[in-house]
Amino acid sequence: MKIWKIITALTILFLFIGMVSATDINNLKVPDGWKALGGGSYHEEGDSPGQGSGQNMMIQKWDDSFKEEYYQNITEEQYTVTDTGNNTYMYIDDFNEDAGSFEVVEIDGEKYFVNFWTVDNMDVEEIADTSLFMQEFNQLNNLKPVEV
């Protein structure tokens, strides 16, 4: 009987350790002035999410289809992407009227796609800000872009 109590206690302990060590993408640190919207989405406070000149951020588990979707220029969709070095990229999507920066980071052995973008504002400074916010996000969470 005593052995079953020990086995049960060890099982609960291992489950607890697994839950504590798992990263929740909703609990990552974000730059000051940003608000978590849930599901890996964040928005710079002061603007409505997805509206006007506000900055947005999305982090989602990497999917190999992203390589074709985000990393290639697509003329007919007016989508242009530029490799800015160090496994980071900037893009302009004239068709969807947004622009920003993206990368892939590794968290607890899993790859995540991180995208910072601005909507309806193709101002060069706004687009450049997406890269600065991405760098700050990486520093806050001790992350580095990885190659895919």
pLDDT the model gives residue 113: 97
DSSP letter string over 30-55? --TTEEEEETTEEEETTS-TTSTT-E
> For 129, phi and psi rounded to 5 degrees?
-60, -30
Q: Residue 121 — pLDDT band, cuts 50, 70, 90?
A: low
CA–CA distance, 36 with 54 (Å, rounded to integer): 14
* Domain annotation covers residue 148: no
pLDDT at 119 over 50: yes
Q: What's the total number of domains in the chain?
A: 1
Which one, of 139, 127, 124, lies nearest residue 89 by Cα? 127
pLDDT the model gives residue 54: 74
Angle at 129 between CA 127 and CA 130, to 5 degrees: 70
* Domain annotation covers residue 14: no
User: Residues 88-105: what's their mean pLDDT?
Assistant: 94
DSSP letter string over 96-148? TTEEEEEEEEEETTEEEEEEEEEES---HHHHHHHHHHHHHHHHHHT--B---
Give the CB-side neighbour count of residue 39, counting CA atoms within 13 A.
Answer: 1
pLDDT greater at residue 122 or residue 53: 122
* Domain annotation covers residue 11: no
Copy the structure tokens of residue 62.
């990497």
* Domain annotation covers residue 45: yes
pLDDT greater at residue 104 or residue 23: 104
CATH number at residue 134: 3.40.1000
Q: Residue 25 — pLDDT band, cuts 50, 70, 90?
A: confident
pLDDT the model gives residue 122: 73
Copy the structure tokens of residue 131.
């890269």
Residue range 42-86, pLDDT digits in tens? 998 765 554 445 789 999 999 999 999 999 999 998 999 999 999
Reported pTM: 0.78
Collect all residues with Cβ–Cβ distance below 8 Å to 14 and sequence separation of at least 6.
none
Quote the domain boundaries for residue 117.
24-141
Residue range 3-17, pLDDT digits in tens? 444 444 434 434 444
